[in-house]
Amino acid sequence: MVLISPRRAGEKRLIAVLQPLIGKIDVAAMQAANYSVDRDRDRDRDRDKASPAEAARAWR
């Protein structure tokens, strides 16, 4: 599922770029990536939370 704000829903280029991602990231993987960015600290690794770029690299 991809959510797009009503403000950007008419942007055909944005839709075209996002379209190939639909169904490619399972829910558990997305939740793990979101959690790695949203939490205050990574207790398992004793470090600050991941940046969005770090979360994306870990998902690949």
pLDDT, tens only, 15-51: 999 999 888 888 888 888 888 888 776 566 666 778 8
Residue 42: what pLDDT? 59
Q: Which domain holds residue 53?
A: 25-59
- In a domain, residue 2? The reply is no
| Cα separation, 12 vs 46, whole angstroms | 42
- In a domain, residue 3? The reply is no
- In a domain, residue 52? The reply is yes
- In a domain, residue 41? The reply is yes
Give the chain's domain count. 1
How many CA atoms, within 13 angstroms, populate the side-chain half-sphere of residue 31?
3
- In a domain, residue 44? The reply is yes
Q: Is 36 exposed, middle or buried (0-12, 13-18, 19+ CB in 10 A)?
A: middle
- In a domain, residue 10? The reply is no
DSSP helix/strand/coil, 48: strand
- In a domain, residue 7? The reply is no
Q: What is the pTM of this model?
A: 0.53
- In a domain, residue 33? The reply is yes
